[in-house]
Amino acid sequence: MLNIVRTLTAFAVLTGVALAPSASRAGDDKDALVDILKKVDQQVCQSPKKILAYYAKDTVIIADDKRVLPEHRIKDYEVMIAELQEMKCSNKRTVLAGNVGENVGYLLVDELISVSSRHSTDERQHSVCTYAFTKNGGQWKIQHEHCSSLPDYTIVPGDDALYYFHNPVY
C-alpha cells in the first residue's frame, strides 16, 4: 500500500511539473511579442503598408500626446521613404517588463530608433513604449501602442538640430 501511495505521489508531482508553465516558456511568449515588433521594424522602411498585418483592426496608437491612426503613420513612412535617398533604419529595443497570458500580453520597452540617409544626418528618437497585444485567430496583434519621447543621452545637444525639438526640457 505504501508503494502505491509513493508511486501516485511521484506521478502527481511529475505531472504537475510537466504541465506547469515554466519560466523558459514564458520567456518564449515574450520573445514572440518582441518578434512581432521586429517584423514591424523591418517593414517600416521598405513596405509600410505591410505593417497593418501586425495591428488589430481597432488599434489605438499614442505618440507622445497625440493619437495616431495606423493609416496616417503609413503615409508618414511613405513620405519619409520618398524624401530620403538610401535610407537606413535601425531600432534598438530593450524590454523592461512584460507579461503574456493566454489571449493578452504586454511589453514595456526602451527604444532608440535611428534613421539615416545619404544627404541627412542621423535622426534618432529615444522613447519608452508600452505595447498591448491580443490574440486574434491564433495570432498576436498589436492592440495598443503608447510611446513617450525621452532625451537621447547619446546625442550631444549641438550635434542634432532636432534634439531640442524632441527634448524641450533642454
- Of residues 112, 91, 118, the one with CA closest to residue 36: 91
Residue 157: its pLDDT value, please?
A: 57
pLDDT tens, position by position, 58-67: 998 998 888 9
Phi, psi torsion values for 95, nearest 5 degrees: -80, 120
pLDDT tens, position by position, 60-98: 899 888 898 888 888 887 887 777 777 788 888 999 999
Residue 139: its pLDDT value, please?
A: 93
Residue 112: its pLDDT value, please?
A: 87
pLDDT-derived band at 121, boundaries 50, 70, 90: low
Contacts (Cβ under 8 Å, ≥6 apart) of 167 = 149, 150, 151, 152
Average model confidence (pLDDT) for the chain? 76
Q: Compute the distance between CA of residue 21 and CA of residue 11 in angstroms, rounded to an integer.
A: 18
Q: Do the Cβ atoms of 115 and 80 come closer than 8 Å?
A: yes
Q: Give me the domains of the chain, ranges plus CATH numbers.
A: 22-166 (3.10.450.50)
- Of residues 132, 85, 81, the one with CA closest to residue 106: 132
